[in-house]
Amino acid sequence: MTKQDQTPEISIVHPVVVSNSIHEQPLNQRPIRSFALRGGHMSEAQKRAYAVGMPQWSIPFEPQMHQFELNFEKPQPLIFEIGFGMGETTAHIAGELSDRNFLAAEVYTSGVGSLLKLIDQNNLSNVRIMQHDAVEVLQSMIAPKSLAGVHIYFPDPWHKARHHKRRLIQENFIQLVASRLQPNGYIHCATDWEQYAHQMLQVLSNEPLLRNTAAQFSARPSYRPVTKFERRGLRLGHGVWDLVFEKT
């Protein structure tokens, strides 16, 4: 393993529960994480899908490197998706790219239940779910040079200036992602927040293990569908920016 491929140090924040409420650590002590703390409602269909599907389609977190190919039916290139929301995009891409396996990380039970329902409805066999912080999964379970790609779609923009340090796309996180990519592996990010898009472009461009596949921003790859929220934003004149970088 080269020095550049070694795992950078990124601490994982855990919520502190005080009197039944969740309080975050002070900003100057808060490390990067891939999600913001918020609640979520589960429908009855999502609850049923969660109860039935988790034993079959999920992989439990373990603080040790894992051979993910053993969890899939076929030994195919592995794509890691960070924060899949309600899972519509993940299910669509997994159906389009059936020659790849997808490891999808999400912390919210409602989103996990939704994707499990879509896995059943679309008869998908190439998706596995981890209900855990994706940063910790990258650090502890995914071996260097093992991923064919990483998808990060519409991460929380933390739009207030004083909250920018909470954003996921930062130099030490991208260093970690790059170390987990195979040669010619890629990272594909998308955001509808222009200022965050330019920060992403700068951070990704500054990583010596990565190169931009476009002059600046990329055209939306055909495998990424336009979500209903994205379609609504485009009608209102909002932009969407895609970035695709490859490991050199």
Q: Which residues are catalytic?
A: 156
Dihedral sign (CA 101, 180, 157, 242): negative
What distance lies between CA 177 and its chain's CA centroid?
11
Of 122, 125, 113, 97, nearest in space to 49 by CA: 113
Place of tokens 């502190």: 16
β-sheet bridge partners, residue 150: 80, 187
Residue 103 makes CB contacts below 8 A (sequence gap 6+) with 59, 68, 78, 79, 80, 81, 128, 130
Q: Quick check: 123 and 149 in contact, CB under 8 A?
A: no
Q: What is the DSSP string of 213-246?
A: SSSSSBPPPTTSPPPHHHHHHHHTT---EEEEEE
